[in-house]
Amino acid sequence: MTYKTIDSSRISISQLMQPSHSNFSGKIHGGYILNLMDQIAFGCASKHSETYCVTASVETVDFLNPIEIGELVTMKASINYVGRTSMVVGIRVESENIRTGEVKHCNSSYFTMVAKDDDGNSVEVPGLIVNDKTEVKRFLKSIKRIETKKSRQKEFDSEDFSHIDYLDELKQYRVKVELPDNY
């Protein structure tokens, strides 16, 4: 099996935010940012795997700060984790006010990309060489995220899930449970 460093597929892009990218309140549209993030995730995963990739999932998209028209957005992407055919690409988004030089952290997200061959079959990707504390931490955080997602799926997607078991728990939330009698 081959192993590759994180640096060998690390990429970044910068783009000036245009008025055509804004929403009704004059800020940059979140969907436009997600589109750019998907492109950089594809670039980073394709570089690591040397294949085409598809987006399997996107985790944690918190828009921490709005982005204004005229700001320079920079996205940095690196491989955080590899499985057999999947890779988690971590992306950090920052925007810079060109006149003041102020930089804001706008978003950090994790895209899971799957490597594909020409026939659309998932293919094995190279292993990852981690060579500092941050890289080890990011790999471990990805493992935790994957385990948490699996346990959530196991709890709620299993055949024997019963909503009745959770009704008491719901009493502490702002929700009225009005089920039909036979439900």
Ligand X SMILES: CC(C)(COP(=O)(O)OP(=O)(O)OC[C@H]1O[C@@H](n2cnc3c(N)ncnc32)[C@H](O)[C@@H]1OP(=O)(O)O)[C@@H](O)C(=O)NCCC(=O)NCCS
Chain residues in the site for ligand X (CB under 6 A): 54-57, 83-86, 112, 114, 122
Looking at residue 1, what DSSP letter applies? -
Q: Which is nearer to ligand X, 54 or 143 (CB)?
A: 54
Of 33, 50, 20, nearest to 115 by C-alpha is 50
Work out how close the CB of 55 gets to ligand X at its nearest, in angstroms, rounded to a whole number: 4
Work out how close the CB of 70 gets to ligand X at its nearest, in angstroms, rounded to a whole number: 30
- CA distances from residue 156 to 146, 165, 166, 176, 179 in whole angstroms, order as listed: 16, 12, 11, 20, 19
Q: Which is nearer to ligand X, 70 or 83 (CB)?
A: 83
Nearest position to ligand X, beta carbon = 83
Q: Which is nearer to ligand X, 11 or 56 (CB)?
A: 56
Work out how close the CB of 40 gets to ligand X at its nearest, in angstroms, rounded to a whole number: 15
How many Cβ atoms sit within 10 Å of the Cβ of residue 93? 24
CB 21 within 8 A of CB 34: no
Q: Which is nearer to ligand X, 14 or 35 (CB)?
A: 35
CB 48 within 8 A of CB 125: yes
Work out how close the CB of 41 gets to ligand X at its nearest, in angstroms, rounded to a whole number: 11
